[in-house]
């Protein structure tokens, strides 16, 4: 069974990026992944691969 809440973000980050809303978009997701990369508590996300794949 997968623990959905295993990777919870800090409440101040969730509040700042409004992650507790149902209409969270790509902007909020991208920003929280950048914050996670900076903190270092989570597996890093390589944005170069994501940018390359969106340039068609």
Q: What is the 3-state secondary structure (H, E, C) of the chain?
A: CCCHHHHCCCHHHHHHCCCCCCCCCHHHHHHHHHHHHHHCCCCCCCHHHHHHHHCC
Question: Per residue in 18-38, pLDDT tens?
Answer: 888 888 888 888 888 888 888
* Cα gap 42→38, rounded to integer Å: 9
Provide the whole-model pTM.
0.60
Taking only the tens place, the pLDDT of each residue in 2-15 is 555 566 777 888 88
3-state DSSP assignment of residue 8: coil
CA-CA distance, 55 to 40, in Å (whole number)?
Answer: 28
């Amino acid at each position: 069974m997968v623990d959905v809440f295993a990777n919870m973000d800090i409440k101040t980050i969730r509040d700042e990026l409004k992650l507790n809303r149902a209409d969270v978009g790509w902007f909020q997701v991208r920003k929280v992944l950048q914050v996670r990369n900076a903190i270092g508590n989570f597996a890093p996300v390589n944005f170069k691969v994501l940018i390359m794949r969106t340039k068609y």
